[in-house]
Chains A and B, each alone.
Chain A
């Protein structure tokens, strides 16, 4: 029998319903797993062990009394620490929010609780979601469970690593420029960035509001579908959220036309490129023709992304002045503006860089040169992609242009670090859904395939991913830990 910490979410629910084990057994097993691997991986910022155990007991009682249970009843879900959880510290991996305990649950957290999911704790990230390695967390960086010397990707690195290492069964991440897909690729798990507006952002601590979405990170497509359906929907607390149809597990696959984005292939490492061609073979096996396509405006995507994301970030992060919430820093004898500047010195370097760049591109005189152009590129890119989606159901390419790399390799050169997001920012700029699927390994390091679809085209992503998952055999559990 599979060990309880290796079960998929739907298997946990089945096992509990059939009485094969109790929720308490399952939670205890996961806690033991965490005890064993967490000192190596560092996925969590905050663990709510007592909360998880008491939730488990409630589920067990419900099961015993044959009460109805939710779709994710008993399943342990980890939450990226930039999603607001009532009563549980939410730090964004920042000194600035060290002592911040939210008074409210994000809409996705409410939905998860209603589904019976057990929230085990808060997962590591790059400070405020700004980074691709978790090295910018103010806590310890998370390590890649497949190779502890390598980064797990970011910014949802804690989420990717925890799911890969079996420290939780599913996790929620957030994706502003690739923050779900990058760690999913690097940690060999499945991660989806939904269509902009499909999932409520209420309670997601904003980095760049117009780009980001909350999404699931899982070990199976089936789990991902369950999770996505639970968190999707129009929310009265988010004016940018929209209604959507539920996703289902396909009975059989209809033919899908696949476009392989040429520019993303040529810009990638050889090992990564090989895997994409391998994937295209697999697509052909399941009856989906592939051909290469080109995206004309791709060239401008990353500069546009960094302009917009930094601009929004500089404004979103202005509220952290430590007056209303934050960390311990006495107001002393300071005048208010000195106090603000002193307090805000406690942001990490990368956050400061982006705030400064954001202030720069929004300054009078530069707005037209940077911000407006970036907005224009965004529209052009979206139009170009919508045009391509008339012909192709899916556009694919590598999720990351490179393999997971060693700690410290890029941290001193911001541009180098930014460049790893080049494949993922496309979906955020265009507001379209994108999934990262494990596709293979090179030297023991995971490689992910990115699939993109038209707005609200998640069903097509799921249809293809479900079939590929069946025929591509990927080891699920890293041996190194």
Chain B
């Protein structure tokens, strides 16, 4: 079983509050999922296999040019001075 502490830790690093219902249900459900993916351990380790499916050549990369898009309001909660209002830090 995933312990309550472990679940709370995962929820904390993921910055998610869980409902009481979820706190009850999740330990078993997550445990089952983890058991299911545990089978990966049996996979023979072969370090010679490259893990990367895609490569990109340096020559293909974006050139260093400025492109300024037209003034759009990209974010909400913008003050008159242009700052974004967020929750307090302390």
Distance to closest chain B CB from A87 (angstroms): 11
Whether the pair A374, B40 counts as a contact (CB closer than 8 A) is yes
Scoring B residues 63 to 77 as 1 if CB is less than 8 Å from chain A, else 0, what string do you get? 000000000111111
Residues of B within 8 A of A361 (CB): 37
CA distance A370 to B43 in the complex (A): 10
Whether the pair B40, A240 counts as a contact (CB closer than 8 A) is no
Whether the pair B36, A352 counts as a contact (CB closer than 8 A) is no
CA distance A132 to B32 in the complex (A): 19
Given contacts A352-B22, A376-B45, contact A300 B88 (CB under 8 A): no
* Interface membership of B30, Cβ < 8 A: yes
Residues of B within 8 A of A339 (CB): 87
Residues of A within 8 A of B45 (CB): 373, 376
Q: Which of B1-54 contact A (CB under 8 A)?
A: 7, 10-19, 22, 26, 29-30, 32-34, 36-41, 43, 45-46, 49-51, 53-54
Residues of A within 8 A of B86 (CB): 323, 331, 336
Whether the pair B51, A306 counts as a contact (CB closer than 8 A) is no
Range of interface residues on B (Cβ < 8 Å) = 35 or more
* Interface membership of A355, Cβ < 8 A: yes
Given contacts A360-B10, A369-B41, A373-B43, contact A341 B54 (CB under 8 A): no
CA distance A306 to B33 in the complex (A): 9
Contact among B10, B43, B73 for A356, CB-based, below 8 A: B10
Contact among A335, A360, A363, A431 for B87, CB-based, below 8 A: A335
Distance to closest chain B CB from A430 (angstroms): 9
Whether the pair A196, B53 counts as a contact (CB closer than 8 A) is yes
CA distance A375 to B54 in the complex (A): 13
* Surface stretch bound by B, among A48-56, A65-73, A276-284, A377-385: A377-385
Distance to closest chain A CB from B37 (angstroms): 4
Residues of A within 8 A of B12 (CB): 341
CA distance A364 to B40 in the complex (A): 17
Whether the pair B14, A303 counts as a contact (CB closer than 8 A) is no
Contact among B34, B43, B53 for A376, CB-based, below 8 A: B43
Contact among A306, A324, A379 for B53, CB-based, below 8 A: A379
CA distance A356 to B89 in the complex (A): 25
Determine the main DSSP class of A at the interface with B.
helix
* Interface membership of A232, Cβ < 8 A: no
Whether the pair A341, B16 counts as a contact (CB closer than 8 A) is yes
Contact among B7, B18, B36, B53 for A415, CB-based, below 8 A: B36
Whether the pair B76, A341 counts as a contact (CB closer than 8 A) is no
Residues of A within 8 A of B89 (CB): 335-336
Distance to closest chain B CB from A369 (angstroms): 6
Whether the pair B15, A341 counts as a contact (CB closer than 8 A) is yes
Whether the pair A103, B37 counts as a contact (CB closer than 8 A) is no
* Interface membership of A357, Cβ < 8 A: yes
Given contacts A353-B30, A376-B43, contact A307 B16 (CB under 8 A): no
Residues of B within 8 A of A359 (CB): 10, 13-14
Whether the pair B49, A380 counts as a contact (CB closer than 8 A) is yes
Residues of A within 8 A of B88 (CB): 333-336
Whether the pair B32, A324 counts as a contact (CB closer than 8 A) is no
Residues of B within 8 A of A314 (CB): 14
Whether the pair B11, A303 counts as a contact (CB closer than 8 A) is no
Whether the pair B53, A345 counts as a contact (CB closer than 8 A) is no
Residues of A within 8 A of B19 (CB): 345
CA distance A382 to B51 in the complex (A): 10
Distance to closest chain B CB from A385 (angstroms): 12
Given contacts A342-B17, A345-B19, A356-B30, contact A306 B43 (CB under 8 A): no
Residues of A within 8 A of B85 (CB): 331
Given contacts A370-B40, A382-B53, contact A323 B30 (CB under 8 A): no
Residues of A within 8 A of B53 (CB): 196, 210, 378-379, 382, 431
Whether the pair B33, A357 counts as a contact (CB closer than 8 A) is yes
The 6 closest A-B pairs by CB, nearest first: A345-B17, A339-B87, A303-B37, A373-B40, A324-B75, A340-B15
A353-B33, A418-B36 known, 19 other contacts, Cβ within 8 Å? A103-B74, A236-B62, A300-B40, A307-B40, A314-B14, A321-B15, A324-B75, A324-B84, A331-B85, A332-B87, A336-B87, A339-B87, A345-B19, A352-B18, A353-B30, A363-B13, A370-B40, A374-B37, A375-B51
Please name 29 pairs of A and B residues whose Cβ atoms are closer than 8 Å in the assembled complex, sorted by A: A210-B53, A300-B43, A303-B37, A306-B37, A307-B37, A307-B40, A314-B14, A323-B77, A324-B74, A324-B76, A325-B75, A331-B77, A334-B87, A335-B88, A336-B87, A344-B14, A349-B22, A353-B29, A357-B34, A359-B13, A360-B30, A360-B34, A363-B13, A373-B45, A375-B51, A378-B51, A379-B50, A380-B49, A415-B32
